Amino acid sequence: MADVVTTKTIEDGPRTAVMHFTNVSDGTGESAVAKVDVSALSSDPAGKGACTSVNIECIWYTTKGMGV
């Protein structure tokens, strides 16, 4: 059985993106996975072009049956 993963974009605004990730793991884990595709985020509405980088400001997480 492989890990079952989902990515949901909750908000994709001019300065803020909020995303939700889930991973139901079989214990094998993930490796070399990009969770956020910066090129797919919204462009700046002020005409400054496409998004080229992101900063992570907050992470909330819950684990059940395994540790981080």
> Tens digits of per-residue pLDDT, 9-26?
999 988 889 999 998 888
* pLDDT value, residue 58: 93
Q: What is the mean pLDDT of residues 30-59?
A: 87
pTM of the model: 0.73
Pairing of strands 4-12, 17-24: antiparallel
Would you say residue 49 has pLDDT above 90? no
